[in-house]
Structure 1
Amino acid sequence: MANKKFPFTGTGSVVLHSAGHHNAEHAHLTPIFATSTFTFDTAQQGMERFAGEDKSRLYGRWGNPTFTAAEQTIEALEAFGLMDENGEPLQLKALLHSSGQAAMTTLFMSNLKAGDAVLSHYSLYGHTYELLLKVLAESGIQTIIADLRDLNVVEETIKKNPAIKMVHIETPANPTMQCVDIAAVTTIAKQHGLVVSADNTFATPYLQQPFKYGVDFVVHSTTKFLNGHGTSIGGVLVGKDIEKMKNHIWKWHILLGNNNNPFDAFLLINGMKTLEIRMERHCSNAIAVADYLDKHTAIEKVNFVGLDSHPDHAIALKQMKQPGALLSFEVKGGIDAGKQFIDRLQMCVRAVSLGTVDTLISHPASMSHRGMSKEDREKNGITDGLIRLSVGIENVADILTDLEQALA
């Protein structure tokens, strides 16, 4: 990694320079290495590459220099300003995946086996929930769902279930914005020798660094805020056990065929360059939108961790720099009123996903969480009338004007 010892003072510099500019042709920007395989000058060189740690110049499913540049940037973002147990700058290893779901699959399959259990919480992303409770269940891996915001419940659940080998946290969670105390839950998990993973997609490393609180793995859907422009699909798994990431985890990664592709990696690299300034605007806009909706007579409830009324407001303040850009709310009148509101929008975009520069609005019960039963959705706080808003970086006055005319 270039400039490893340079004392960066902020993430704006980290995303621009962590991967450096050292490539074969000295290109200023990381090139798209659009190749399925790589050549060897001699048989000996090929043998040395296969025996070495750097697998980025062997075969496209194993690695690619464009992947490496993206991975180095994400490693630097998640580790920025953090120290390891020896007081040295924290070193991490990232593996770029074809999607956030692919990164999740590698995470769970490489750490769990038949007979094991994973402990997680309510209000997970719908497809994470289905992966855990449907797909992994068919492999003999049990998922236990509990309220991880109650530390007594965490302790008691782990003690009662010796099969639990991993605790998985998603905070803020999708779409109710529930927050889990990463440090507190990780401390309990470590007392019982458990692996801890955290989905940091909503917060990004700019707002929250789970490794600061002792987790073992962090997952992102890079499709969202890291890319920021809705131009590519991707995911990343980051771990602090370097040897395990380069060997055991990497082996699962390539055997499952979860590799990214050079073009999407290139788009991710360029998207991350504006992460800091985008997140600042996302967050300031979201605060204004949440305040507006919270006071509107047509709105029943707003879920936004930046509001004092959110039950996890204090936890969010403790572990996040700012409350993020996601919120959800219910329009009075239920699902019919909510559908009318969505249909009236003129600027905000009706689309699934989140984290793009424009404001996206979706209906979780019929979209992202459609695969969950109505009973499970409601147990997780996802009512039929809940609307999710990913606040963009437009002029905030325009966002508010669109919401106002749609609610009128």
Structure 2
Amino acid sequence: MANKEFPYTGFTSLAVHAGHEQDPNYAHLTPIYASSTFVYDSAEQGMRRFSKQEEGYIYSRWGNPTFTEAEKKIAAMECFGVATTNGDPLQVKALLHASGMAAITTLFISNLKAGDKILSHFSLYGGSQEMMDKILPGLGIEAVIVDLRDLNKAEEALKADPKIRMVYLETPANPTVQCVDIAELTQLAKKYNKLVACDNTFATPYLQQPFRYGVDFIIHSTTKFLNGHGTAVGGVLLGRDIEFMNNRAAKTYQLLGGNSNPFDAFLLINGMRTLEIRMERHCHNATEIANYLEVHKAVAKVNYTGLSSHPDHYLAHKQMRHPGAIMSIELKGGLQAGIQMMDRLQLCTRTVSLGTCDTLLCHPASMTHYGVPKAQREQYGITDGLIRMSIGIENVQDILMDLEQSLKGL
């Protein structure tokens, strides 16, 4: 077993070994600690743990050894090769949640109060958009939506409204894979003393590291590429202010009850060990498929940052290692052609979610973004004919064969 102080030179070595502590019974992999509570050697020890005078586990809603390894592994990946302004390796704190939405809830509730506003952009994940539209207003928190690809509009919004407390980014965004400039927007936000949070689910820490550009918080739906196998729902919130994360964020997390569970954490840990290998194959396949679809006679448009035709192609290249594995397409035949295509699939899978080993197709307007009003969806580029594709790790020729037969005659 690699020592926890070992100076990893590669991402996969880190993904395999980071966060692991030797189990007292010498299990090779971290066990599933399926215990709701943890015991103390004495009443005094219990008192010390509750008062934080001594580290240790108390109750699995507050923390669990299986959670801890997953949290440390994700934190290590997001910080790999990232330094502070002093040149020291960046250290962050992670909190493992039951879902990505639970992590977003902890982020918002721990940082915002009635009267505060969030500055964000269009084409967000449907759950995030609905949270801003339907839940936060009841708490007195408002979302301001601006095209943040235009830095002048971003600064105008920040200047005009001192109630904006947080800038919330999702890049690449779901499902149009629009990108925003993390570095420029973070610099701009800091000029006005605002917090910055970034949803890094589509990119993963292997393709993009928002902490490198100075953001305060990172969110993941660990259900997706981090788990990689579609076996467990989860989410994580990471923050660079460790005191805040250990206190206000942790207390919010504990009281809201959005914690993960040991079995899902175990599945996540083992999924992350192969993240780099999987992402390389995902991205290779996606590039070939995007090039094929861009010239297909049935396809009107391909949204994929790896194509030079995508408006955010150069920005994505600037801040991502590879363009990623997510794309969306518009068929010339519109909604009906999309239904026919999806019904004909033989290898690829018809389902929501993304980031699993198999290629997944879904129809955002009727699935992931069903709860977003039609006019709002269309304003954000999510039309009735849009199909989102999460490209898997199958042999690319087999994916291409399935797409070809499903598009024939459309």
Letter in 1 for 2:211: F
Which of 5-14 and 16-25 deviates more? 16-25
**Cα pair 1:21 1:29 within 8 Å, conserved:** no
- The 3-state SS of whatever aligns with 2:119 is strand
- In the other structure, the counterpart of 1:83 is 83
**Cα pair 1:225 1:275 within 8 Å, conserved:** yes
- The answer to whether the aligner puts 1:352 opposite 2:352 as a matched pair is yes
The Cα offsets for residues 318-363 of structure 1, whole Å up to 9 and x where unpaired, read as 0000000000001111100110011001010000000000000000
**Cα pair 1:228 1:355 within 8 Å, conserved:** yes
The Cα offsets for residues 157-208 of structure 1, whole Å up to 9 and x where unpaired, read as 0111111000000000000000000000000000000000000000000000
**Cα pair 2:49 2:56 within 8 Å, conserved:** no
Output the CA distance in 2 between the equivalents of 1:156 and 1:19.
Answer: 42
- In the other structure, the counterpart of 2:297 is 297
- The answer to whether the aligner puts 1:70 opposite 2:74 as a matched pair is no
The Cα offsets for residues 36-89 of structure 1, whole Å up to 9 and x where unpaired, read as 000111111111222227765100100000000000000100000010121100
- The answer to whether the aligner puts 1:339 opposite 2:332 as a matched pair is no
Q: Structure 2: which 5+ residue stretches go unaligned?
A: none
Displacement, 1:3?
A: 3.3
Change (3 A) 1:53 1:228: farther
Which of 382-391 and 24-33 deviates more? 24-33
Output the CA distance in 1 between the equivalents of 2:51 and 2:146.
Answer: 44
- In the other structure, the counterpart of 1:170 is 170
- In the other structure, the counterpart of 1:119 is 119
**Cα pair 1:56 1:62 within 8 Å, conserved:** no
- The 3-state SS of whatever aligns with 1:405 is helix
- In the other structure, the counterpart of 1:216 is 216
**Cα pair 1:21 1:28 within 8 Å, conserved:** no
Change (3 A) 1:244 1:54: farther
Change (3 A) 1:398 1:260: same
- In the other structure, the counterpart of 2:35 is 35
Output the CA distance in 1 between the equivalents of 2:158 and 2:20.
Answer: 44
Q: Structure 1: which 5+ residue stretches go unaligned?
A: none
Output the CA distance in 1 between the equivalents of 2:200 and 2:311.
Answer: 20
Output the CA distance in 2 between the equivalents of 1:35 and 1:199.
Answer: 31
- The 3-state SS of whatever aligns with 1:76 is helix
- The 3-state SS of whatever aligns with 2:282 is helix
- In the other structure, the counterpart of 1:275 is 275
Output the CA distance in 1 between the equivalents of 2:6 and 2:305.
Answer: 35
- In the other structure, the counterpart of 1:365 is 365
Displacement, 1:11?
A: 1.3
**What's the % identity of the aligned pairs?**
63
Output the CA distance in 1 between the equivalents of 2:79 and 2:318.
Answer: 18
Change (3 A) 1:276 1:141: same
Superposed counterparts of 1:85-234, under 5 Å: 85-234=85-234
Q: TM-score when scaled to structure 1? A: 0.98
- In the other structure, the counterpart of 2:393 is 393
Q: TM-score when scaled to structure 2? A: 0.98
Which of 389-398 and 43-52 deviates more? 43-52
Displacement, 1:248?
A: 0.7
Change (3 A) 1:94 1:2: farther
How many pairs were matched up? 408
The Cα offsets for residues 286-341 of structure 1, whole Å up to 9 and x where unpaired, read as 00000000010110000000000000001100000000000000111110011001
**Regions of 4+ moved over 6 Å:** none
- The 3-state SS of whatever aligns with 1:225 is coil
**Cα pair 1:56 1:65 within 8 Å, conserved:** no
Output the CA distance in 2 between the equivalents of 1:405 and 1:30.
Answer: 45
- The 3-state SS of whatever aligns with 1:132 is helix
